[in-house]
Structures are given as C-alpha cells and as structure tokens.
C-alpha cells in the first residue's frame, strides 16, 4: 500500500466506536483527598481506524496527562494498549471490551492497575473507576472519573 492510500479500518476495533469523540472529565483520587480534578479526553481513530487513540488531559498537576494507543492482535483475538504520560511513564496494558464496558489492566509484582470504563446507554457519559496494587499488597482505590460527551 502506498503512503497516499487510505488505511482500512481494523474490524476488531468496532466495539470501541461508542468512545469516539471529545469528552470533559471530572474526577477524584483517594491519594489526594478533598480535591476534584478537571480535564478533557479525546478518543479518535488513527490511520483510518487501524488503531484507537486516547488523549487525556488533566488540568491539575497531581494527575498526569497522557496518550494511549489501542490495537488488536488478530492471532489471539486480544486487545492491547500502549500508554505514555508527561512523567515519562510508559506501560503496556491488556484491554477488553464487552458491551458498554471497557476494561484495561496491568499486572506486575511492583505495581498493578485495573481500570473500568462504563459507557451510559445514551452514550453521553462514561464512568471510570480504577484500583491499584503496590508490591503485591491489598488493592486500593485509584483515579475515578466521569466523562461527559462534548461531541
């Protein structure tokens, strides 16, 4: 395929279509009690739908802004995310989607995370809730956000 030809969409990513758009966000984190975080996020197709990209911007400095690229492996039928944020943190996460719920997770001995995004039936809001585990200890709360569709 030449550089000027349009990339075909990845049919495996079709279940993620409800996320496409611009969103405002408001959230909390248990490690920063009493503080509300404001931001925005954009889910968009890249390379004609070959991948899904998420840009996440948080206005307050305690939560990093970042970028994620989601793709699939047609050999195993699984989804994966590559994440990078303004701290220089880079991670690979496993992703799944079933109906209106997207889940991503990362399990390592030092730091594990799980995040669940639930899209409302009208497609106007997304509720996200995360948990984290440090050094194999107990699971504890992580960032929680509500996203409201702008477009």
CA distance 27 to 141: 13
At 105, is the secondary structure helix, strand, or coil?
strand
Return the domain boundaries, the chain: 11-149
At 5 the pLDDT is 58
Per-residue model confidence as pLDDT tens digits over 100-142: 999 999 999 999 999 999 999 999 999 999 999 999 999 999 9
In the CATH scheme, what is the homologous superfamily, with its name and number, of domain 11-149? Calycin beta-barrel core domain (2.40.128.20)
Closest CA to 126 of 26, 6, 2: 26
Backbone dihedral angles phi then psi of residue 12, each to the nearest 5 degrees: -65, -25
Q: Has residue 76 got a pLDDT over 60?
A: yes
pLDDT in tens, 37-65: 999 999 999 999 999 999 999 999 999 99
18-36 pLDDT, tens digit each: 999 999 999 999 999 999 9
C-alpha to C-alpha distance for 126 and 64, rounded to whole angstroms: 19
């Amino acid at each position: 395929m030449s550089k000027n030809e349009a990339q075909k969409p990845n049919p495996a990513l079709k279940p993620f279509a409800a996320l496409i758009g611009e969103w405002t966000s408001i959230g909390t984190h248990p490690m920063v009690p009493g503080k509300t975080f404001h931001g925005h996020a954009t889910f968009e197709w890249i390379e004609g739908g070959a991948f899904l990209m998420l840009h996440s911007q948080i206005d307050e400095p305690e939560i990093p802004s970042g970028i994620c690229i989601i793709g699939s492996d047609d050999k195993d039928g699984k989804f994966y995310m590559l994440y990078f944020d303004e701290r220089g943190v880079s991670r690979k996460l496993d992703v799944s989607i079933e109906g209106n719920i997207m889940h991503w997770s990362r399990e390592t001995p030092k730091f594990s995370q799980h995040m669940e995004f639930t899209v409302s039936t009208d497609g106007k809001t997304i509720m996200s809730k995360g948990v984290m585990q440090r050094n194999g200890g107990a699971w504890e709360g992580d960032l929680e956000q509500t996203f409201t569709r702008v477009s």
